Structure 1
């Protein structure tokens, strides 16, 4: 058995809730039904930052398949090169976020 502690990342005032570092390999699909893998590097109840193998466009809607949670719809808020940030259409519950952080 192990215990994990995390410290939320600094907030710059733009985010609705503090982010916590993670390393989650997830599937991503966009409106054009293009599917690929990505890695979520930090997450909050309201959104996530990810590293991708394909360019995402700001303003596009994507679907992330998160472990424990399932498919989550999100809007790409910013994107540069192979990193992007998204806001979930529906915030995660504290219970689901806690389960994701434990992975």
Structure 2
């Protein structure tokens, strides 16, 4: 019989809280046609996207968020049809809370 102690890995420190959500957001990237993305994780500093076409890492992107318009961001990682972005300017707390109240997933 084999026994081992298990200790879960500590999660990296996050600057601000994140909210799970399902929010359709059209995106544009230089040299790429507009594509539909789904914001599935949002913070005031950035978001995680499910994309329906590949997005290039280390490239600027513009997301059209409801009520906020076009938001500039940088794609910091991309893996198949999932990408992580950091906003050029953080969202205001009021804008973040409004998006979460309208599109956030409650579990």
Measured against the shorter chain, the TM-score band is 0.7 to 0.9
* Structure 2 SS opposite 1:48: strand
Asked if 1:25 is matched to 2:50, the reply is no
Unaligned runs of 5+ in 1: 1-9
CA deviations 1:35-69 (Å, max 9, x no partner) are 01010001000000010011111100000000111
Q: Partners of 1:52 and 1:91 in 2: how far apart? A: 22
Q: Partners of 1:68 and 1:62 in 2: how far apart? A: 18
Structure-2 change in CA distance of 1:81 and 1:33 (3 Å): closer
Q: Rg bigger for which structure?
A: 2
Q: Partners of 1:16 and 1:34 in 2: how far apart? A: 32
Determine which structure has greater relative contact order: mean sequence separation of CA pairs < 8 Å that are 6+ residues apart, divided by chain length.
2
CA contact (8 A) 1:36 1:54 kept: yes
Q: Partners of 1:16 and 1:79 in 2: how far apart? A: 21
Q: TM-score, normalised by structure 1?
A: 0.85
Bigger drift between 69-78 and 30-39 goes to 30-39
Unaligned runs of 5+ in 2: 1-9, 103-107
Which residue is 1:7 aligned to?
none
How far off is 1:19 after superposition? 1.2
How far off is 1:17 after superposition? 2.0
Which residue is 2:46 aligned to?
47
Which residue is 2:6 aligned to?
none
Q: TM-score, normalised by structure 2?
A: 0.82
Q: Which runs of 4+ in 1 moved over 3 A?
A: none
